[in-house]
């Protein structure tokens, strides 16, 4: 196991055109297509409808953890992907995830955790 820290990808997806949160079944189909093409075998997702009407989507992919907060009234998603190992390349998955929702505006960043150490 590596002694390094993992990567953290964050994205704000504004004005999403593909409202996959309305159909968890369709979301699962689409996310399986993306993960299959990237050879990600461990793929587990959970949808939770909050009292506020917002939706929490949590996923586990191999050595990564995905958290998405969906604000349906605004077609906005705040997404975070956390990886345990610094050598894990989350770029392809993060790009695929963003494309699934077809946002009009994306503000995204990837950083190596604890890089100052």
DSSP 39-72: T---EEEEEEE-TTS-EEEEEEETTEEEEEEEEG
User: CA-to-CA distance for 74 and 51, rounded, in angstroms?
Assistant: 16
pLDDT in tens, 60-95: 987 888 999 999 999 999 999 998 877 767 788 889
Half-sphere exposure of 56 toward its Cβ, with a 13 Å CA cutoff? Answer: 7
- Structure confidence at residue 36 as a pLDDT band (50, 70, 90): confident
With 60 as the cut, is the pLDDT of residue 28 above it? yes
pLDDT value for 83: 86
Over range 98-104, report the average pLDDT.
95
Region 14-43 average pLDDT:
87
Q: Is the pLDDT of residue 3 over 70?
A: no
User: ∠ CA 97-30-39 to the nearest 5 degrees?
Assistant: 75
In sequence order, which ranges of the chain are alpha helices (DSSP H)?
A: 24-37, 91-101
Question: Tokens standing for 84?
Answer: 């345990």
Domains of the chain by start residue, with CATH: 7-112 (3.60.90.10)
pLDDT at 42 over 80: no
pTM: 0.85
Average pLDDT over residues 41-70: 89
Confidence of residue 48 (pLDDT cuts 50, 70, 90): very high
| pLDDT of 37 | 77
């Amino acid at each position: 196991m590596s002694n390094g820290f993992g990567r953290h990808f964050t994205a704000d997806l504004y004005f999403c055109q593909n409202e996959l949160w309305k159909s968890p079944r369709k979301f699962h189909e689409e996310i399986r297509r993306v993960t299959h093409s990237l050879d990600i075998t461990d793929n587990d997702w959970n949808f939770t409808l909050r009292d506020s009407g917002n939706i929490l989507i949590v996923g586990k992919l191999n050595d990564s953890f995905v958290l998405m907060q969906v604000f349906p009234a605004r077609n906005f998603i705040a997404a975070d992907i956390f990886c345990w190992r610094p050598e894990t390349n989350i770029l392809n998955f993060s790009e695929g995830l963003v494309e699934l929702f077809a946002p009009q505006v994306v503000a995204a960043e990837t950083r190596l955790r604890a890089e100052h150490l």
